Amino acid sequence: MLGAYVFFLNSVFSNARTEIRNGREMILLDFTPVPSLASEDKSTSPAAHLAGTLWIDAQDRITTRIVARITPPTGAPDDTAFVQEFARMPEGVWLSTYLRLDTSLKPEYFNGEAFEWIRERKNHQHFTVGIEIPKQK
């Protein structure tokens, strides 16, 4: 499965800059595949065909957003193949809020698979549970 670690291990980064997103300072890095990347690992081989941008929270140092497009471009109106977003909860925990993977643009880059998968999670809530130890009589 694609994720930040796949892009960090298999990409070349450039164009570092900052931006405010959701009230927090982010470091943006553009990435392109390592030129010699020819992964035989089916879970990471798509990274050899994706380029895009990573957003990293400057304070928490966590990847909060990834947008990856097919490279070279396919000529489609939108070459975005992978989007992943996270939101910071009041407790300081980062949770996944959106994930989109569209392999139908170039199935051959995704081990012959052609599908679009979207997962959205909203309204995250924090629950606490208390334990009461019974008193012995």
* Average pLDDT over the chain, rounded to an integer: 88
Residues 27 and 92: their CA atoms lie apart, in Å, by 18
Residues 61 and 51: their CA atoms lie apart, in Å, by 21
Residues 62 and 19: their CA atoms lie apart, in Å, by 15
* Domain spans, the chain: 4-120
Phi-psi region of 118 (alpha: psi -120 to 50; beta: other; left: phi over 0): beta
- Percentage of residues in the chain having pLDDT higher than 90: 52
Cis peptide leading into 72, omega within 30 of 0?
yes
pLDDT at res. 40: 65
Residue-wise pLDDT tens digits, 36-92 = 766 566 666 788 889 999 999 999 999 999 999 998 877 777 899 999 999 999 888
Residue 87, CB half-sphere, CA atoms under 13 Å: how many? Answer: 12
Contact 30, 12 (CB under 8 A): no
The pTM is what? Answer: 0.82
pLDDT at res. 73: 77
pLDDT at res. 77: 78
Residue-wise pLDDT tens digits, 5-31 = 989 988 999 999 999 999 999 999 999
